[in-house]
Chain A
C-alpha cells in the first residue's frame, strides 16, 4: 500500500525552528518528486515546496522562501521540511504529497499523508 506518514509537528515559539519528516512506503520513493502543502486552521490549501526526485531542484512559495528548506534522503525513503524563523502565520496542518510523474515533476499531487500539526505560539 502506498503510504505517506508525516511527523514532527509540535507547538513552537515565534522565531523558533522545527523539522518535519515524511516517511514513504509502498512505492519507489526515489522515482518521484515530492511536495509539502499546508492548511491553516479553517482555511484553504497552500502549496509550500517541491523537491525533485534526486533532490537537485527545489522550489518554494514566496511566503516561506529563505526560511524553509526542503530536502530528502532517498536511502531512508524520507522527505523533510526544515522550518526556521517561524511565525504565527505558519501555524497549519502540514501535508506531504507525492508528485505522480516518475523521473520528473508534473506539478500536482496524487498521494497525500494525513498531515502533522505545527502551532507557532508564545
Chain B
C-alpha cells in the first residue's frame, strides 16, 4: 500500500491569508491525486483531481500542484467558508488511500 503523509494536521489562519497544505507519498504516483474539502456534519466535496485540475464550480482561489511524491493544495485568499478539513487521496494503485486530514481553523 502507498502511505501518505499530510501536513500540517492543524492549520490556524485568518481570512485573506494564503495557505498551503502538503501531501507526501511513500512512492511516486504520477499525478493521480485528488483533494477534498469536508465541513462538519457534511460529506466531502471534490476540489481538485489529477493533482492540479480544478473541479467544476470550485473557486479559482483553490489550486493544486505537484507530481511524483510531493503535492500541495494552496488557497490563495482565505474566505470564511474555507475553514474546514482537507484531505488528499491517491488513486494510483489499490488500495486507494487518503491522507490523515488537515483541519483549517480560524486564528
Contacts and interface: CB of A to CB of B under 8 A. Distances in A.
Contact of A44 (B43, B95, B100): B100
- Which bracket fits the contact residues of B? 20 to 34
Interface in A93-122: 95, 100, 106-110, 112-115
A47 B43 contact: no
A47 B99 CA distance: 11
A45 B43 contact: no
Nearest to A6: B43
A59 B43 contact: no
B87 interface: yes
Contacts of A114: 43
Contact of A108 (B34, B95, B101): B34
B34 A59 contact: no
A48 to B, nearest CB: 9
Contacts of A108: 34, 46, 49, 89, 91
A26 to B, nearest CB: 16
Top 10 A-B pairs, shortest CB-CB distance: A107-B91, A112-B43, A108-B34, A47-B96, A45-B98, A44-B101, A61-B95, A59-B94, A110-B46, A108-B49
Interface of A: 37, 44-47, 50, 59-62, 95, 100, 106-110, 112-115
